[in-house]
Structure 1
Amino acid sequence: MTSLAEAVDAVADEHGFSGVVSVDRGGRAEFAKAYGPAHRAYAIPNTVDTRFAIASGAKALTALAVVSLIEDGVLSLGTTARSLLRDDLPLIDDRVTVEQLLAHRSGIGDYLDEDDPDLDLDDYLLPVPMQQLATPEQYLTVLDGHAAKFPPGERFSYCNSGYVVLALLAERASGVGYHELVRSRVCAPAGMRDTEFLRSDELPDRTAVGYVPAGDGRWRSNVFHLPVRGVGDGGAYTTVADMSAFWRALFAGRIVPPRWVTEMVRPREDVPGERLRAGLGFFLHQTRDQVMLIGQDAGVSFMSVHDPASALTYTVIGNTSAGAWPVLRPLRERFSG
């Protein structure tokens, strides 16, 4: 029988994977290996402690920051977006609530609509210069002008705008900046020392640059594709070790109380077109009690899966748009069925 290391190595070699693969149980590593370059121009290789962007994987950080504010009485699930948006974003229905935004059931128009079959994440999609997007308030011009897709609460529709709105509501309700909310309420209690919303134009050492194919075997960095600093819907950087710490802290009740963890990872409905179920800020396996975070964007591919019963965590982070998905196959076959 092929070992896990052999299976992962074979797929990584076949597809030219660039990133890190990690498997652990209760924080004890069973497999961890880095592949490919963190920086192509300077031939700097990825290592197991390289930081990578995780795109929409950061939605869980937003959800937890919001839920911690709910626990403190600053917000509630029933708080309407309009109560804090006031005259901003007039096309958002006055009935939209925090709970609907968390559950992707708000129906608001999306500035990056992943239901669009023509969407190409490797394209240049931002309608404003990327350097103008570094805080939730700066996103108002991008979020505005998108008509509602359906009435609030009618159905599930994955929505990036909804999580930017959540970041905006959290800031306005608490008086604390979004990035500080995530740092103090999620990363610090979880011991995630290497997780941060970094600016793409000033990446520090030990951080991978994201790459998109430019044809003829050439690669370009994703610096012109994404907001210069992520907010509520994505853009955090992390390591595989921090992801392991995150899952352990979450299910130990160190980020939000256990009753809230149970509510956030409770399967609420099936995700249309996917073999997934949805919670609040988290996805879940179709049939098993496994919780997961998924992210993909230009130069970013990420998935981290945790099984609370066995304390198993496996994570794949790549610094290309699709690199993680082939490498995930042998892990999912062995651990998720």
Structure 2
Amino acid sequence: MVGLARGRHRPGRLGRCNKAVDVHHVAGYRHRRSNLADSVATLAQSRGFSGVVRVDRGEHPELAAAFGLAERGYGIPHTMDTQLALASGVKPLTALVVVSLIEEGLLRLDAPMRALLCADLPLIDDAVSVEHRLATTQDYLTVLEGHPQKFPPGERFSYCNSGYVVLALLAERASGQDFPALVQRRVCEPAGMVDTAFLRSDELPASAGRGYLDADGLRTNVLHLPVRGCGDGGIYTTAADVHALWQALGHARVVSREWYAEMTRPRSEAPTESAHYGLGFWLPLPGDRVAFEGMDAGVSCRSVHQKETGVTHTVLANTSGGAWAISRHLDEQLFVA
């Protein structure tokens, strides 16, 4: 399905314009939008893409398209309201929770993690701070398995899942609330993300897409991932909610403008990714773009937002790596150097 799709969206969610406009400008806009929709549909068909795609310019949508099946066994197609898993796409939400606690004085960016960990996870270096963890400048995967850390805190960039699990633990201890509730109250509610939640993979609602291990077949990822996600991955959302998040960040409804700018300031270099890393967000090169992405068994996603123009594209897929080809195509079409 290609085009602007409406479902449970609240009135005005996709934007309206009642001003008089130039006919030639409108015709050019419609032609550009039609070309984009056609090229995405062609690529989706050739790649066997299964998921949803959305493109917006500020408050105004240019494309909303759903392809493939959310549930293969019963032949249930994706719609623009399908909730799909984000894998590591949850990391910015984790970072936003932590920053909101910092704004309230419940955490400090330079605070040593040991202050809240106490005697737990003793192999984590006492010098490791909240900032180290947010900027992924230290890898704790081996630490959590009971082995020494790979290198001293702050020495270099190393993308890390387990460090964000530790951040979720710190947020729980600082606030006295469990992590899913923190994400709901501190990110989803102020952003208006009405269809975003840490769903259990063994009791998914009809609105959620199942993650599939192969391009064809019925094997899902339910035995390959934790039943319920945490700070490093596992939340479910919709393309509309992702757009709502970018809009909320630009309007300072989740954290202040100053802190959003701080979170999207380059902290670490990731040369192999052609990007910098901020605090929970990827910063693709070149340009003023901010992004998040994730991939796991039966899951892939990428969303890119350009601050200056307000252009955003989001691709959510229920297969491993399925989002990449269309996301790269949208980069080329929307963010021409």
- Normalising TM by the smaller chain, what interval? 0.7 to 0.9
The sequence identity of aligned pairs, in percent, is 56
Shift of 1:110: 4.7
Structure 1 residues 70-219: aligned runs within 5 Å: 70-110=102-142, 143-213=144-214, 217-219=216-218
Structure 1 residues 1-337: aligned runs within 5 Å: 3-110=35-142, 143-213=144-214, 217-337=216-336
* Residue deviations 1:286-335 (CA, integer Å, cap 9, x gap): 11001001110100010001111111111000000011111123211111
Corresponding residue number in structure 1 for 2:14? none
Is this contact kept in 2: 1:265–1:282, CA < 8 A?
yes
* Residue deviations 1:47-95 (CA, integer Å, cap 9, x gap): 0111100110100000000000000010001121111111111111111
Q: Secondary structure at the match of 2:202?
A: helix
Is this contact kept in 2: 1:27–1:245, CA < 8 A?
no
Is this contact kept in 2: 1:107–1:154, CA < 8 A?
no
Corresponding residue number in structure 2 for 1:114? none
- The gaps in structure 2 that reach 5 residues or longer are 1-31
CA distance in 1, matches of 2:127, 2:284: 31
CA distance in 2, matches of 1:246, 1:146: 37
CA distance in 1, matches of 2:38, 2:328: 13
Shift of 1:174: 1.0
Q: Secondary structure at the match of 1:212?
A: coil
* Residue deviations 1:91-133 (CA, integer Å, cap 9, x gap): 111111100000001343358xxxxxxxxxxxxxxxxxxxxxx
CA distance in 1, matches of 2:269, 2:150: 19
Is this contact kept in 1: 2:295–2:301, CA < 8 A?
yes
Q: Secondary structure at the match of 2:194?
A: coil
Decide whether aligned partners of structure 1 residues 240 and 308 sit closer, same or farther in structure 2, where only a CA change above 3 A counts.
same
Once superposed, what is the RMSD of the aligned Cα atoms?
1.5
Q: Secondary structure at the match of 1:80?
A: coil
CA distance in 1, matches of 2:154, 2:236: 32
Shift of 1:26: 1.7
Is this contact kept in 2: 1:19–1:317, CA < 8 A?
yes
- The gaps in structure 1 that reach 5 residues or longer are 112-142
Equivalences, count? 304
Q: Secondary structure at the match of 1:202?
A: coil
Corresponding residue number in structure 2 for 1:126? none
Q: Secondary structure at the match of 1:201?
A: coil
* Larger RCO, structure (CA 8 Å, separation 6 or more): 1
Q: Secondary structure at the match of 1:226?
A: coil
CA distance in 1, matches of 2:304, 2:113: 31
Which contiguous aligned blocks of 4+ residues in structure 1 show a shift greater than 2 angstroms? 106-111
CA distance in 2, matches of 1:9, 1:92: 48
* Residue deviations 1:134-190 (CA, integer Å, cap 9, x gap): xxxxxxxxx341420100111110010110000000101111111111100001000
Compute the TM-score of the two structures, normalised by the length of structure 2.
0.87
Larger Rg: 2
Is this contact kept in 1: 2:139–2:159, CA < 8 A?
no
Shift of 1:219: 3.8
* Residue deviations 1:197-229 (CA, integer Å, cap 9, x gap): 111011112110000028xx4341000111111
